[in-house]
Homo-oligomer: A and B are copies of this chain.
């Protein structure tokens, strides 16, 4: 006794999703077929639509349905500031924070020697072309503060400094609302190390 073939194929296909193993793929397939056929149909159509319509913005490399994304197409943004992030989700978070009015470049990943992801896989060549357009004066590196994010930041920084650009990194330190008693020691140490003089 086995599952019917088309069910097994659906379970196998669901395993392409990150974080989904055999057990949860089976649970998902059962759920869709038993309780939410409408949802399964919408998912199939949404996959087709996204595959057909989502491209990368020519300038910043983020997901877009048009050659230029909304941010890059906005003439009101500062053209001399370029912020480098790992993923579109990071760009969205920065936009939500309403703290930045320059442009972006989305690497679509981070350098990870452990996973065999090198500089070529994260569009560093495309970034170099973009950053060296003669208009960008400062590149703000906003990759994550993980091991991979830091390696990526270092690489990007070295490459761009060589070419004469000002390169900055977003600050590390205590989170807003953070209490010393509950913060991790590494963050606290960094916050002390990078302390700023009060005006």
Please report A residues at the B interface, Cβ cutoff 8 Å: 1-7, 9-10, 12-14, 16-19, 24, 26-34, 36-37, 39-54, 63-66, 69-71, 87-89, 91-92, 95, 108-109
Contact = CB atoms under 8 A, between A and B. Distances in A.
Contacts of A40: 16, 47, 50-51
A46 B44 CA distance: 9
A137 to B, nearest CB: 22
Q: Which 10 A-B pairs have the closest CB atoms?
A: A16-B39, A13-B46, A44-B47, A4-B65, A10-B50, A1-B95, A13-B43, A6-B53, A10-B46, A44-B44
A48 B44 contact: yes
Copies in the complex: 2
Contacts of A44: 43-45, 47-48, 51
Contacts of A3: 63, 88, 92
Contacts of A64: 4
